């Protein structure tokens, strides 16, 4: 599999009054044209990993890495203006709640048209046509009506599909989705995932799918990185997750409810302090 992105020895640190918080501690992984899941409990460093790839860590946060290479070009070396061109055009990110990402005082149509014109410098009528095509691609049935609506008029699932449509306008090679469906109810979650899946397959993109939901990731992704305390503790093919070896992964699996074998009590994950200090697993293909 050809490598789109290669990350080596990535750290994210936050200097605080009480010392430095190390949110990500020297992780290495690569991404090909695949669906790569990143799972782990709250605070394990999943979101910071996604944001660091796009250099979107707010000061005083610091990103350090031997490299974050996109087709061999080290993103760590780029100027901020060159990095802006990478964001959106080559790598896009979909966040958890679309309401925070969409502009509340602009219609959906104007936002998509603007995003398209920024990218392709096309005429307004061309951009409008493209916007409608994009909305149809994410299964929005009445795109003309949706174009005239404001973000607050959209349901969560609809808003998330619109965000995905916007992120895909420049045809990025990599999509980073940070808990993209966790605010949605289960049936809408399924629809959004299948749309994303189809787009990734049709366009041959690489997808980084960040989630705390091990079940979801194992069904939706090809490969899974399991993060604990800022490190990768294990990497698995998604369909072999049940064979995972690390006690943390086994603990996460054991604490999932199962319909086929219901138990009165779920296992409680017992953490071993040694997991924190074990070296990060290399997850490069
Ligand atoms: N501005 C900050 N200052 C200090 N520490 C921070 C800051 N931002 C994040 N962190 C720390 O970084 C760690 C990793 O955060 P991150 O958001 O990546 O976790 P996560 O695995 O995505 O969790 P969640 O599922 O809750 O989003 C956390 O322990 C958090 O406290």
pLDDT > 80? residue 186? no
Contact 217, 227 (CB under 8 A): no
- Is ligand 1 within 6 A of the CB of residue 43? yes
Question: Which residue's C-alpha comes closest to atom 31 of ligand 1?
Answer: 43
- Report DSSP state, residue 58: P
pLDDT > 60? residue 158? yes
12 vs 204, more confident: 12
Considering the chain, what percentage of its residues have pLDDT values greater than 70?
Answer: 93
CA of 9 to the centre of ligand 1 (A): 18
Q: What's the pLDDT at 31?
A: 96
Mean predicted confidence (pLDDT) in 94-117: 82
CA of 151 to the centre of ligand 1 (A): 28
Mean predicted confidence (pLDDT) in 42-56: 94
Q: How many separate helices (H) and strands (E) can be counted in the chain?
A: 11, 11
Q: What is the bridge-based pairing of β-strands 223-228 and 231-237? A: antiparallel
Q: Which of 67-76, 129-138, 186-195 has the highest mean pLDDT?
A: 67-76
pLDDT band, residue 76 (cuts 50/70/90) = very high
Q: Domains along the chain?
A: 5-90+174-283 (3.40.50.300), 98-171 (no CATH)
pLDDT > 70? residue 179? yes
Query: Residue 124: how many CA atoms within 13 Å on its side-chain side?
Result: 3
Give the other-Cβ count within 10 Å of 79's Cβ: 8
Q: What's the pLDDT at 201?
A: 86
The SS3 assignment for 243 reads helix
Q: What's the pLDDT at 256?
A: 64
Q: What's the pLDDT at 5?
A: 97
The residues facing 22 across adjacent strands are: 13
109 vs 188, more confident: 109
Q: What's the pLDDT at 269?
A: 67
Tens digit of each residue's pLDDT (9 = 90 or more) over 201-217? 888 899 999 998 888 88
pLDDT band, residue 226 (cuts 50/70/90) = very high
CA of 216 to the centre of ligand 1 (A): 22
Question: Which residue's C-alpha comes closest to atom 10 of ligand 1?
Answer: 23
Q: Which of 255, 253, 251 is nearest to 271 (CA)?
A: 251
Q: What's the pLDDT at 134?
A: 82
Tens digit of each residue's pLDDT (9 = 90 or more) over 18-42? 999 999 999 999 999 999 999 998 8
pLDDT band, residue 10 (cuts 50/70/90) = very high
Mean pLDDT of the chain: 86
Atom of ligand 1 nearest to the CA of 50: 18
- Report DSSP state, residue 105: T
Atom of ligand 1 nearest to the CA of 227: 21
CA of 135 to the centre of ligand 1 (A): 33
The ipTM estimated for the assembled molecules is 0.94
- Is ligand 1 within 6 A of the CB of residue 40? yes
């Amino acid at each position: 599999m050809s490598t789109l992105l290669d990350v080596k020895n990535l750290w994210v640190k936050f200097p605080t009054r009480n010392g430095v918080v190390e949110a990500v501690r020297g992780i290495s992984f690569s991404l090909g044209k695949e669906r790569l899941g990143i799972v782990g409990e709250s605070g394990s460093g999943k979101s910071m990993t996604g944001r660091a790839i796009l250099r979107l860590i707010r000061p005083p946060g610091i990103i350090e890495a031997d490299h974050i290479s996109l087709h061999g070009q080290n993103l760590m070396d780029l100027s901020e203006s060159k990095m802006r061109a990478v964001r959106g055009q080559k790598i896009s990110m979909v966040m958890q709640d679309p309401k925070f990402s969409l502009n509340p005082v602009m219609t959906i149509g104007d936002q998509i048209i603007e995003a398209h014109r920024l990218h392709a410098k096309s005429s307004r009528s061309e951009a409008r046509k493209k916007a409608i095509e994009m909305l149809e691609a994410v299964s929005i049935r009445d795109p003309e009506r949706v174009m005239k609506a404001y973000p607050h008029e959209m349901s969560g699932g609809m808003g998330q599909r619109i965000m995905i449509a916007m992120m895909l306008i420049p045809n990025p090679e990599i999509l980073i989705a940070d808990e993209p469906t966790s605010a949605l109810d289960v049936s809408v979650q399924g629809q959004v995932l299948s749309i994303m899946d189809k787009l990734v397959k049709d366009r041959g993109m690489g997808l980084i799918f960040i989630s705390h939901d091990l079940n979801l990731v194992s069904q939706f992704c090809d490969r899974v990185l399991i993060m604990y305390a800022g490190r990768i503790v294990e990497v698995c093919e998604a369909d072999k997750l049940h064979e995972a070896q690390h006690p943390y992964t086994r603990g996460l699996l054991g604490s999932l409810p199962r319909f086929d074998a219901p138990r009165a009590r779920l296992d409680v994950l017992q953490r071993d302090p040694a997991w924190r200090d074990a070296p990060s697993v290399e997850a490069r293909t």
